[in-house]
């Protein structure tokens, strides 16, 4: 032990006392800020600290509390959440029904013994069957979207007896080793190569490339187990495919015996105006992966769901894929509550309506600032705004943050800013945020794309 147990007890008790407080004094805020910065620098990662500091305004912002569609930093400054935790907060921050479900379960039991049957896992699995398209029936629950992708890849290998996969350029599926094989950013992959052998990447949105890979693999005997695609690419830049893309890929997978794996980790649970994004094109995948918003913005949970024919490989050997914390009672009741709220408040329909209005107003801004704003694209409340360069995209995002609106670029590029607010965002909050966007557009456009004003004639 590096320091005395008595000192650790004092430190942990101080922290628990802070957690229990509704309000902090100025001295406590300053002390907690100093502690946070020091601990990031010495025990978490100084690189993260430097990045976060560069986004802050006149002080280092530490996130402290949240409610509905906003959050507050430790100094009390309020921000409209136009990022939504990269798709986590579809039902808003700390929705009362999700919080109540988790609190009620916590009074009874937090985690289960692992050995007996767990009722809420069973109920949730049935609900997932009910809300997903087509014949998807059996579910496995993990703790994240990356875990869902890992499980989906293993299931595809079991069912097909094949080991190879096709994914898309600019696709993002997670950073665990299997999911990283499908993820397409070189910077994330190269330090860990070789990962899974024979994971091919093709341009997104072009079914001809998918057909070429499947045909070639079939001819040389290196058959493909699965094609892994996001219905709309999130981290890649909010890339929306042509309307014939997913239906064609579905047909190609059927023709060549590969499974279609839909990564709905970011697009699912109403985000794009449908409960699941593949429903825009009436496509039923063989395996569908969920995460992020699935836990109602309160508990982490991911899932992959498939049909009976594919899942039969796991019937005789259910322990070929297992997890300690996946499908725990707290996470499952949070997901059940999230499904309830999503349907009760008609959030997919709301996302479509609000998204159409926001897209229209953002496209109007694009027409006003054509040199600054390259493109506006998306579906529902999953919208991307593209700028000429990473530097300008970052400058725009920082300007939004300075004015109380949180957005972010993508892991692939800062030149595309994502707009993914909670689906519960109000009209007043949307109007306020769009006002900030217009203000920052004017400022950045003036700095970069308007000629400097000439001084007028000197007065006598």
Checking 445-450 for CB contacts under 8 A at 24+ apart, the result is 445/369, 445/371, 445/372, 448/371, 448/372, 448/392, 449/369, 449/371, 449/372
Q: What percent of the chain stands above pLDDT 90? A: 87
Catalytic residue (choose from 89, 172, 304, 401): 172
Instruction: Answer yes or no: are the C-beta atoms of 414 and 397 closer than 8 Å.
Output: yes
- Which segments of the chain belong to CATH 3.90.1150.10? 61-91+346-448
Beta bridge partners of 60: none
Q: Please determine, for residue 53, whether its predicted confidence score (pLDDT) is greater than 60.
A: no
Instruction: With cut-offs at 50, 70 and 90, classify the pLDDT of residue 222.
Output: confident
CATH label, 96-344, candidates 3.40.640.10, 3.40.50.300, 3.90.1520.10, 3.30.1330.10: 3.40.640.10
Tokens (6 digits) for 228:
């892994």
Q: Please determine, for residue 78, whether its predicted confidence score (pLDDT) is greater than 90.
A: yes
Q: Is 292 marked active-site? A: yes
DSSP-derived letter for residue 258 is P
Q: Is 97 marked active-site? A: no
CA 208 to chain centre: 28
CATH architecture of 61-91+346-448: Alpha-Beta Complex (3.90)
CA atoms within 13 A on the CB side of 152: 37
Exposed (0-12), middle (13-18) or buried (19+): which is 72, by Cβ within 10 Å?
Answer: middle
Instruction: Give helix 427-448 / helix 390-402 axis angle, nearest 10°.
Output: 130
Catalytic residue (choose from 154, 185, 292, 379): 292
Instruction: Give helix 347-368 / helix 329-344 axis angle, nearest 10°.
Output: 70
Instruction: Give helix 207-220 / helix 245-256 axis angle, nearest 10°.
Output: 10
Spatial neighbors of 276 by CB under 8 A, at least 6 apart, are 131, 132, 133, 231, 262, 264, 267, 268, 269, 288
Q: What digits encode the pLDDT tens for the residues 412-446?
A: 778 999 999 999 999 999 999 999 999 999 999 99
Instruction: Answer yes or no: are the C-beta atoms of 213 and 178 closer than 8 Å.
Output: no
For residues 460 and 455, what is the distance between their CA atoms, to the nearest angstrom?
Answer: 15
> What average pLDDT does the chain have?
94
Question: In the sheet that 382-386 helps form, which strands lie side by side, from edge to edge?
Answer: 375-379, 382-386, 416-419
More confident residue, 423 or 194: 423
Q: What digits encode the pLDDT tens for the residues 136-171?
A: 999 999 999 999 999 999 999 999 999 999 999 999
Instruction: With cut-offs at 50, 70 and 90, classify the pLDDT of residue 197.
Output: confident
More confident residue, 50 or 117: 117
- Which segments of the chain belong to CATH 3.40.640.10? 96-344
Instruction: With cut-offs at 50, 70 and 90, classify the pLDDT of residue 453.
Output: confident
Q: What sign results for the dihedral spanned by CA atoms 99, 104, 108, 113? A: negative
Phi, psi (deg, nearest 5) at residue 90: -60, -40
For residues 224 and 213, what is the distance between their CA atoms, to the nearest angstrom?
Answer: 9
**pLDDT at 59 (0 to 100):** 75
Exposed (0-12), middle (13-18) or buried (19+): which is 348, by Cβ within 10 Å?
Answer: buried
Helix (H) or strand (E) holding 377: strand 375-379
**pLDDT at 181 (0 to 100):** 94
> What is the rounded end-to-end Cα distance, in angstroms, of the chain?
79
Q: What digits encode the pLDDT tens for the residues 121-142?
A: 999 999 999 999 999 999 999 9
Catalytic residue (choose from 66, 81, 263, 286): 263
Spatial neighbors of 345 by CB under 8 A, at least 6 apart, are 91, 424
The helix/strand/coil state of 412 is coil
**pLDDT at 458 (0 to 100):** 61
For residues 172 and 413, what is the distance between their CA atoms, to the nearest angstrom?
Answer: 12
**pLDDT at 457 (0 to 100):** 65
Q: Is 17 marked active-site? A: no
**pLDDT at 10 (0 to 100):** 95
For residues 212 and 202, what is the distance between their CA atoms, to the nearest angstrom?
Answer: 10
The helix/strand/coil state of 324 is coil
Instruction: Answer yes or no: are the C-beta atoms of 313 and 158 closer than 8 Å.
Output: yes
Rounded to whole angstroms, what are the CA distances from 341 to 22, 34, 344, 403? Answer: 27, 39, 5, 31
């Amino acid at each position: 032990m590096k320091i005395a147990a008595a000192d650790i007890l004092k430190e942990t008790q101080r922290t628990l006392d802070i957690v229990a407080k509704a309000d902090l004094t100025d001295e406590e805020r300053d002390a907690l800020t100093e502690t946070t910065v020091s601990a990031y620098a010495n025990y978490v990662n100084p690189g993260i600290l430097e990045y976060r500091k560069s986004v802050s305004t006149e002080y280092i912002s530490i996130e402290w509390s949240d409610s509905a569609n906003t959050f507050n930093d430790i100094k009390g400054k309020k921000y409209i959440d136009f990022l939504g935790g990269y798709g986590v907060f579809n039902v808003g921050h700390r929705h009362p029904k999700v919080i109540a479900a988790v609190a009620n379960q916590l009074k009874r039991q937090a985690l289960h013994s692992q050995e007996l049957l767990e009722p809420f896992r069973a109920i949730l699995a049935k609900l997932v069957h009910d809300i997903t398209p087509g014949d998807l029936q059996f579910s496995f629950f993990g703790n994240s979207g990356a875990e869902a992708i890992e499980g989906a890849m293993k299931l595809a290998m079991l069912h097909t007896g094949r080991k190879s996969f096709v994914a898309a350029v600019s696709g993002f599926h997670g950073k665990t080793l299997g999911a990283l094989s499908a993820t397409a950013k070189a910077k994330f992959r190269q330090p860990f190569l070789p990962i899974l052998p024979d994971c091919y990447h093709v341009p997104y949105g072009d079914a001809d490339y998918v057909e070429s890979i499947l045909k070639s693999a079939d001819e040389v005997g290196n058959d493909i187990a699965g094609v892994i695609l996001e219905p709309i690419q999130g981290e890649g830049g909010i890339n929306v495919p042509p309307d014939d893309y997913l239906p064609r890929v579905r047909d190609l997978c059927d023709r060549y015996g590969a499974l279609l794996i839909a990564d709905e980790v970011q697009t699912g649970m109403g985000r794009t105006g449908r409960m699941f994004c593949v429903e825009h094109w009436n496509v039923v995948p063989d395996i569908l992966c969920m995460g992020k918003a699935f836990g109602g913005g309160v508990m982490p949970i991911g899932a992959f769901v498939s049909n009976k024919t594919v899942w039969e490989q796991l019937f005789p050997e259910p322990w070929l894929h297992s997890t300690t914390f996946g499908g725990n009672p707290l996470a499952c009741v949070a997901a059940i509550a999230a499904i309830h709220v999503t349907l009760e408040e008609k959030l997919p329909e709301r996302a479509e309506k609000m998204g159409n209005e926001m897209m229209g107003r953002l496209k109007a801004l694009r027409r006003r600032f054509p040199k600054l704003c390259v493109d506006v694209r998306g579906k529902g409340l999953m919208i991307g705004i593209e700028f000429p360069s990473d530097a300008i995209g970052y400058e725009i995002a920082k300007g939004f943050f300075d004015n109380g609106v949180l957005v972010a670029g993508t892991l692939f590029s800062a030149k595309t800013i994502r707009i993914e607010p909670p689906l519960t965002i109000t009209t007043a909050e949307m109007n306020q945020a769009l006002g900030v966007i217009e203000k920052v557009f004017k400022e950045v456009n003036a700095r970069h794309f308007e000629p400097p004003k000439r001084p007028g004639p000197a007065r006598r």
